């Protein structure tokens, strides 16, 4: 296949091979690094001088609830967290984001696909981790930016105003300004059919009125308990004065800016702990930081090219705070693009905003803090690993050829299972070559960018390991991330909270890379929502359930071999004593149970071996419907006589008597789901369930809200008769109960 840049590449390669040497690593590495740390003014304190909100503040807590609510999307089907989840590095784990038109609105990561099979969001989702550290601009093309980042009082420019002008509605921070745009972007949260023809400002005003329950949007939410939360933060005033889009973005910004994850090994090293990083990471740090002063500052011309990493990702924030904020890298251009220059699938980068061809195909330099967990990488998410990125910088010609000629996107989790994956992005070669040609011309003119460095494999691994030293351990620990994720105790103001699932239809959890960590030993504990790794033929594990009425999802995936999961409530689970076992094939196994508070046991057993398998325990509240419409029950009391004792049948509602009512229902298949719902009428009805006749003081599962709106979704491993007590105080009237079996 003809290359637009072939001749120049060969010429540069010949020149470099005769004149350039690999960067030598000094023997006294700690001393050399100390000099570089001083040269670049590093302190190990990225947040110095920056006010970071406390996640436990009332404003950040309000922002958390808003961030996870689908009410901010036009069709109430996408939350901010649908594309930015702490368990996925503050992003979505996809090359190209999928916002609206998702087949399953709750699926995140690989497996989230559109109803049409097309991709509409043109770029990779940036991480929200450490967003408070950005001092110049946000979005990959920095279309939200300070007019003068050294004089922020001049204002913030956004796409709502012409380039170079301050947006009077931008808000006080870059993050608040950024939060104004996903909700008005059709492919992200707005939807393609919501308020067509209306301005961005009109859409925002409508969403604020929906949350505040006023004006034309009053009543759009089936339940709405937002006002007291806003009043507790912004004052006890009328809803129209405090539930505004400006306050919504303030709260969202407080939540996002509170994600301050900078307690990493590298910062500890900079502050004096010489044992905080490994020898490989020290070598990588030297390669990263080495940048000899120019001759004008007393430096000498080196015999080798520096990596120049520090030139674009500098200071303690490891993002661009010196020189140009935008760089042309020719990462593979896949996806729908942003269009123009005679190619709808092209992405012009910075030029899309400022109409200046000097920025053609250039993108903002993002922070490298926590870069280990924030992939895929590049403006279109073309690379899954940091090694691929390093190799691109070292020899982008070869890497681009390999990626595009071999349809590298088909190796990425998001695309690899799609039929005719190779045909997804037919313009990838042409669009990528346009950017590569400009870089080749710049190199020919003497620019140092992307010149081949001739890095050894060891040097590349050292650079990758150094970037892993920029990872705060908190972002790999589900317990540490818990304050940023709504819990069962947090109010769900509108019933539209995102309950994210992965492609296995189990609660999203924080994964581990099982090819990089040691497996759990038999007898270990599993923590909720924390992925772990197992290998062997039999591994015994246990987990603690913190609350009654918990739906527990135990799942395995990836790795090699085959296995079966076995569960027992009281002792180590084995094939001959297990209460139930998983379903699936190979290492893809799933076991779903409704359990109460206490210690429980699960084992992974194989007749042969399994290796590097991911395992996790996820938890959902059995009393929490996924969305308000799940509570829908026809009013049987309009057409039926009240009953106090009867058999329940799936899908057939019954009218309850005023006093206690007893029902029984037969489950004929193992691993069935029984959903019980009560609605309508007056009074206070509770649902108590057991494998025996329950009483008010003796039952297994229950739904006991303060009214007649009861919901209980039970995952039952064993077939048989189940018994339901619907309690009443003699004042209950007109209450309907419905059972559904799946």
Name which of 642, 548, 635 is nearest 596 in CA terms. 548
Secondary structure of the chain: what % helix, strand, coil (to 5)? 30, 20, 50
For 554-584, how does the pLDDT look when each residue is reduced to its tens digit (9 = 90+)?
A: 999 999 999 999 999 999 999 999 999 999 9
- pLDDT at residue 295 greater than cutoff 70: no
Do 471 and 370 meet the contact criterion of CB atoms below 8 Å apart? yes
13 confidence band (pLDDT: 50, 70, 90): very low
Give the rounded distance of the alpha carbon of 233 from its chain centre.
27
For 315-365, how does the pLDDT look when each residue is reduced to its tens digit (9 = 90+)?
A: 999 997 766 778 899 999 999 999 876 788 999 999 989 988 888 999 999
The neighbouring-strand residues paired with 221 are none
303 confidence band (pLDDT: 50, 70, 90): low
302 confidence band (pLDDT: 50, 70, 90): low
What is the reported pLDDT for 7?
A: 32
- pLDDT at residue 312 greater than cutoff 90: no
- pLDDT at residue 735 greater than cutoff 80: yes
For 163-188, how does the pLDDT look when each residue is reduced to its tens digit (9 = 90+)?
A: 999 999 999 999 999 999 999 999 99
What is the reported pLDDT for 154?
A: 96
Do 719 and 669 meet the contact criterion of CB atoms below 8 Å apart? yes
What is the reported pLDDT for 301?
A: 59
For 396-414, how does the pLDDT look when each residue is reduced to its tens digit (9 = 90+)?
A: 999 999 999 999 999 999 9
Give the rounded distance of the alpha carbon of 93 from its chain centre.
6
For 537-559, how does the pLDDT look when each residue is reduced to its tens digit (9 = 90+)?
A: 999 999 999 999 999 999 999 99
- Name the residue with tokens 């922002």: 63
d(Cα 270, Cα 595) in Å, to the nearest integer?
A: 47
Name which of 205, 206, 159, 136 is nearest 364 in CA terms. 136
Which tokens is 622 given?
A: 């059995």
Residue-wise burial string across 225-243, b where 16 or more C-beta atoms lie within 10 A, e elsewhere: ebbebbeebbeeeebeebb
For 416-465, how does the pLDDT look when each residue is reduced to its tens digit (9 = 90+)?
A: 999 999 999 999 999 999 999 999 998 888 777 788 888 999 999 999 99
Question: How many other β-carbons are positioned within 10 Å of the β-carbon of residue 161?
Answer: 15
What is the reported pLDDT for 501?
A: 97
If you average pLDDT over residues 216-236, what whole number do you get?
97
Structural domains of the chain, ranges and CATH numbers in brackets: 58-258 (1.10.760.10), 262-474 (1.10.760.10), 504-621 (2.60.120.380), 628-741 (2.60.120.380)
Which tokens is 28 given?
A: 């006294």
297 confidence band (pLDDT: 50, 70, 90): low
- List strand residue ranges (DSSP E) for 438-481, in order: none
If you average pLDDT over residues 69-92, what whole number do you get?
98
- pLDDT at residue 628 greater than cutoff 90: no
- pLDDT at residue 12 greater than cutoff 50: no
What is the reported pLDDT for 445?
A: 84
For 353-393, how does the pLDDT look when each residue is reduced to its tens digit (9 = 90+)?
A: 998 888 899 999 999 999 999 999 999 999 999 999 999 99
Tell me the percentage of the chain whose pLDDT exceeds 90.
86
1 confidence band (pLDDT: 50, 70, 90): very low
If you average pLDDT over residues 103-115, what whole number do you get?
96
What is the reported pLDDT for 627?
A: 85
Note the residue count of the chain: 742
What is the reported pLDDT for 654?
A: 97
Task: Output 271-279 pairs: Cβ under 8 A, ≥24 positions apart.
Answer: 271/43, 271/44, 274/30, 276/469, 277/466, 277/469, 278/465, 278/469, 279/29
Q: Which helix (H) or strand (E) holds 427?
A: none
What is the reported pLDDT for 19?
A: 46
Do 360 and 438 meet the contact criterion of CB atoms below 8 Å apart? yes
629 confidence band (pLDDT: 50, 70, 90): confident
pTM: 0.94
């Amino acid at each position: 296949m003809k290359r637009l840049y072939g001749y120049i590449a060969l010429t540069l390669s010949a020149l470099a091979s005769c004149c350039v040497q690999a960067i030598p690593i000094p023997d006294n590495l700690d001393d050399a690094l100390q000099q570089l740390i001083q040269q670049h003014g590093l302190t190990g304190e990225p947040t110095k001088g920056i006010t970071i909100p406390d996640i436990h503040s009332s404003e950040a807590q309000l922002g958390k609830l808003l961030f996870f609510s689908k009410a901010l999307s036009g069709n109430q089907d996408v939350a901010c967290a649908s594309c930015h989840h702490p368990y996925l590095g503050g992003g979505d784990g996809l090359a190209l984001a999928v916002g609206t038109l998702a087949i399953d609105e709750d699926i995140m990561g690989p497996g989230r696909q559109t109803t049409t099979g097309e991709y509409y969001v043109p770029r990779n989702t940036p991480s929200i981790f450490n967003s408070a550290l950005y001092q110049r601009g946000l979005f990959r093309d920095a279309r939200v930016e300070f007019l003068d980042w050294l004089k922020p009082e001049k204002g913030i420019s956004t796409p709502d105003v012409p380039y170079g002008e301050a947006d009077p509605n931008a808000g006080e921070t870059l993050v608040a300004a950024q939060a104004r745009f996903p909700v008005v972007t059709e492919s992200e949260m707005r939807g393609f059919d919501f308020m067509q023809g209306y301005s961005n400002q009109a859409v925002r005003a409508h969403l604020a009125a929906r949350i505040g329950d006023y004006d034309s949007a009053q009543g759009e939410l089936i339940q709405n308990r937002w006002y007291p939360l806003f009043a507790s933060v912004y004052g006890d005033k009328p809803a129209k004065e405090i539930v505004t889009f400006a306050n919504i973005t303030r709260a969202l910004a407080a939540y996002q800016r509170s994600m301050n994850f900078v307690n990493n090994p590298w910062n500890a090293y900079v502050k004096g702990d010489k044992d905080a990083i490994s020898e490989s990471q020290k070598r990588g740090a030297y390669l990263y930081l080495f940048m000899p002063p120019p001759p004008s500052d007393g430096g000498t011309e080196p015999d080798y090219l520096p990596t120049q990493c520090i030139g674009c990702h500098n200071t303690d924030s490891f993002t661009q705070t010196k020189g140009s904020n935008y760089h042309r890298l020719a990462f593979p251009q896949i996806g729908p693009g942003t269009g123009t220059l005679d190619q709808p699938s092209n992405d012009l980068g910075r030029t899309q905003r400022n109409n200046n061809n000097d920025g053609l195909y250039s993108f903002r330099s993002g922070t490298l803090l926590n870069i280990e967990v924030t992939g895929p990488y590049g403006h279109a998410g073309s690379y899954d690993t940091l090694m691929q990125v390093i190799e691109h910088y070292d020899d982008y010609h070869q890497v681009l050829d390999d990626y595009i000629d071999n349809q590298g996107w088909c190796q990425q989790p998001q695309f690899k299972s799609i039929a005719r994956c190779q045909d997804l992005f037919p313009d990838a070669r042409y669009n990528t070559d346009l950017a590569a040609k400009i870089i080749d011309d710049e190199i020919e003119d003497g620019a140092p960018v992307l010149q081949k460095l001739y890095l050894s494999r060891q040097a590349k691994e050292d650079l990758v390991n150094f970037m892993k030293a920029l990872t705060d351990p908190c972002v790999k620990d589900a317990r540490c991330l818990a304050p940023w994720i709504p819990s069962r105790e947090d109010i769900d103001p509108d019933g539209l909270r995102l309950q994210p699932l992965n492609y296995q239809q189990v609660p999203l959890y924080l994964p581990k890379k099982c090819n990089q960590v040691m497996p759990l030993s038999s007898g270990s504990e599993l923590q909720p929502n924390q992925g772990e790794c197992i290998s062997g033929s039999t591994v015994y594990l246990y987990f603690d359930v913190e609350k009654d009425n918990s739906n527990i999802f135990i799942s395995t995936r990836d790795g090699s071999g085959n296995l079966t999961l076995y569960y027992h409530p009281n002792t180590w689970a084995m094939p001959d004593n297990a209460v139930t076992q998983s379903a699936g094939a190979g290492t893809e196994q799933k076991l779903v149970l409704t359990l109460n508070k206490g210690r429980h046991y699960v084992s992974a057993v194989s007749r042969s071996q399994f290796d590097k398998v991911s395992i996790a325990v996820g938890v959902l509240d059995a009393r929490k419907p996924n969305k308000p419409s799940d509570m829908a029950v026809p009013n049987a009391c309009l057409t039926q006589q009240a009953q106090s004792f009867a058999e329940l049948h799936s899908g057939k509602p019954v009218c309850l008597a005023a006093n206690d009512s007893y029902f029984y229902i037969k489950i004929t298949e193992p691993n069935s789901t029984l959903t019980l719902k009560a609605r309508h009428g007056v009074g206070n009805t509770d649902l108590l369930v057991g494998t025996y006749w329950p009483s008010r003081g003796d039952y297994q599962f229950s739904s006991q809200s303060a009214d007649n709106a009861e919901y209980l979704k039970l995952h039952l491993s064993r077939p048989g008769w189940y018994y339901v007590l619907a309690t009443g105080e003699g004042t209950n009237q007109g209450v309907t109960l419905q059972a559904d079996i799946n």
